[in-house]
Chains A and B, each alone.
Chain A
Amino acid sequence: MIKLNVNGKDNSLDIEPEMPVLWALREQLGLTGTKFGCGIAQCGSCTVLLDGQPIRSCSYPAQAAQGRKITTIEGLSADASHPVQKAWKELDVPQCGYCQSGQILAAVALLERKPKPTDADIDEAMTNICRCGTYVRIRAAIHRAAGGPNTAASVIHMAGLDARSSGNSEGAAA
Chain B
Amino acid sequence: MKRSLQPGLQRRQFLVATGLSAGGLALGFHVPAGAQAAASAGGAEVNAWVVIDPDDTCTVRVARAEMGQGTHTGLAMLVAEELGCDWSRVRVQQVTPGQNLAAKRVWRNMSTGGSRGIRESHEYVRQGGAAARIMLVQAAANEWKVPAADLSVDKGVVLHAASQRQLRFGQLAAAAARLTPPDPKTITLKNPRSWTIAGKPTKRLDTAVRVNGQIQYGIDTALPGMLYAAVMDCPVFGGKLVSFDAAPVIARRGIKAVLRVDASTVAVVADSWWRAKTALEALPIVWDEGPHARESSASIAERLKAGLTADKDVFADTDIGNARQGLARAARRVEAVYSTPFVSHACMEPMNCTALVTATKAEVWVSSQNAEGSLAALAAETGLPLEQCEAYNPPLGGGFGRRGGQQDYVRQAAAIAKQMPGTPVKMIWSREEDLSHDFYRPIGQCLLQAGLNDKGELETLALRVSGQSINALVAPHNITDGKDRRQLQGYYAEPGDAQIGYTVPNLLVEYAMRNTHVPVGPWRGVNTNQNGIYLEAFMDEVAKAAGRDPLEFRRALMAKHPKHLAVLDAVADKAGWGKPLPAGVHRGIAQFMGYGSYTAAVAEVALKGNDVTVLRIVLATNCGHALNPDQIAAQVEGSVAYGLDSLLCVSTVANGRIVERNFDTYPVARIKQMPKVETVIAPTFDFWGGVGEPTICVVAPSILNAIAAARGKPVRSLPLKNEGLRLV
Q: Which residues of A contact B (CB under 8 A)?
A: 16, 19-20, 23, 27-28, 30-40, 42-43, 45, 72-74, 76-77, 80, 85, 88-89, 92-101, 104, 122-124, 126-139, 153-161, 164-166, 168-169, 172, 174
Contacts and interface: CB of A to CB of B under 8 A. Distances in A.
B638 interface: yes
A43 B663 contact: yes
Nearest to B696: A133
A37 B400 CA distance: 16
Given A73-B212, A74-B213, A155-B677, A133 B630 contact: no
15 contacts: A32-B219, A33-B212, A33-B214, A89-B208, A92-B207, A95-B68, A129-B348, A132-B641, A139-B671, A154-B633, A155-B677, A157-B680, A159-B570, A159-B573, A174-B573
Nearest to A42: B663
Given A154-B630, A156-B629, 17 more contacts: A20-B274, A33-B213, A35-B219, A37-B431, A95-B69, A96-B399, A97-B215, A99-B348, A132-B642, A133-B642, A135-B670, A136-B674, A139-B671, A156-B678, A159-B574, A160-B570, A165-B201
Nearest to A28: B272
Most chain B beta carbons < 10 A, residue from A28, A35, A153, A159: A159
B67 interface: yes
3 closest cross-chain pairs (CB), A and B? A33-B213, A133-B641, A96-B68
Interface string B561-577: 00000000010011000
Given A33-B213, A96-B67, A155-B678, A166 B642 contact: no
A105 to B, nearest CB: 10
A94 to B, nearest CB: 4
Nearest to B634: A95
B630 A166 contact: yes
A82 to B, nearest CB: 9
B687 to A, nearest CB: 15
A39 B230 CA distance: 13
A24 to B, nearest CB: 9
Most chain B beta carbons < 10 A, residue from A31, A38, A126, A172: A38
The majority secondary structure among interface residues of chain B is loop
Contacts of B350: 36-37
Contacts of B220: 32
Interface string B11-55: 000000000000000000000000000000000000000000000
A114 to B, nearest CB: 15
Interface string B668-681: 11111010111111
A40 B642 contact: no
A131 B629 contact: no
Contacts of B203: 92, 168
A132 B211 contact: no
Given A95-B634, A97-B397, A159 B204 contact: no
Given A32-B222, A73-B212, A135-B641, A126 B663 contact: no
